[in-house]
Structure 1
Amino acid sequence: MDNNSVWFLVLVSLITCCVIMALVWLWAHKIKNAGVVDIFWSYNFPVIAVILLMLAPGFGTRKTMICAMVIIAGIRLGTHLAIRIISHIKEEEGRYQQLRKEWAPNAERKFFFFFQFQGISNVLLAIPFFLSVMNPKPELSIFEYAGFALWFISVTGETIADRQLAAFKKDLANKGKVCDIGLWHYSRHPNYFFEWLMWVAYFVFALGSPYGYLGVISPAIILYLLLKVTGIPATEEQSLRSKGEAFKRYQATTSVFVPWFRKR
Structure 2
Amino acid sequence: MNGNAVLIVWGAAACAMLVGWLLQRATRNAGIADAIWAACLSGGALYYAGVGTGSALSRGLVAVFGGFWGFRLSMHLLTRVLTEEEDGRYRQLRAHWHGSEVRFFALFQVQAALVALFSLPFLAVAENPVTRISAWHVIGVTVWLVSLAGESFADLELARFRRDPRNSGRTCRIGLWRYSRHPNYFFEWLHWFAYVALAVGSPIAWTAWLGPLLMYIALRWVSGVPFVEAQALRSRGDDYRAYQSETSAFIPWVPKPERTSDLRKA
Distance 1:16 1:200 in 2: 25
The one-letter code of the counterpart of 1:33 is N
Q: Is the 8 A contact 2:128 2:200 kept in 1?
A: no
- How far residue 208 of structure 1 moved from its aligned partner, in angstroms, is 3.4
Task: With the length of structure 2 as denominator, give the TM-score of the two structures.
Answer: 0.93
1:217 and 2:210 correspond? yes
Identity of aligned residues (%): 37
Alignment of 1:174-189 (within 5 A): 174-189=167-182
The whole-number CA distance in structure 2 between the counterparts of 1:20 and 1:47 is 11
CA deviation after TM superposition for structure 1 residue 213, in Å: 2.4
Query: Aligned-residue CA RMSD in angstroms?
Result: 1.3
1:104: Cα distance to partner? 2.4
2:36 to 40, 43, 50: 40
Residue 70 of structure 2: aligned partner: 74
Contact 1:42 1:75 in 2 (8 A): yes
Q: Which amino acid aligns with 1:176?
A: G
1:58: which partner in 2?
54
The aligned runs of 1:1-264 (5 Å cut-off) are 5-88=1-84, 91-104=85-98, 107-264=100-257
Gaps of 5+ in 1: none
1:37 CA drift (Å): 0.6
CA separation of 1:76/1:168 partners in 2, compared to 1, >3 Å: closer, same or farther? same
Q: Is the 8 Å Cα contact of residues 142 and 208 (structure 1) preserved in structure 2?
A: no
> Any unmatched runs of 5+ in structure 2?
258-266
- Deviation of 1:87 (Å): 0.2
Aligned with 1:14: secondary structure?
Answer: helix
Show CA shifts across 1:46-103 (max 9, x none): 1112211222222112101112101111111111111112102xx3221101111222
SS of alignment partner, residue 170 of structure 2: coil
Tell me the secondary structure at the aligned position of residue 192 of structure 2.
Answer: helix
In structure 2, C-alpha distance between the alignment counterparts of 1:36 and 1:74, rounded to whole Å: 14
CA distance in 2, matches of 1:135, 1:173: 51
* 1:146-188 alpha-carbon deviations (Å, 9 max, x no partner): 1121011000000011111111111121111110000101110
- The amino acid of 1:214's aligned partner reads T
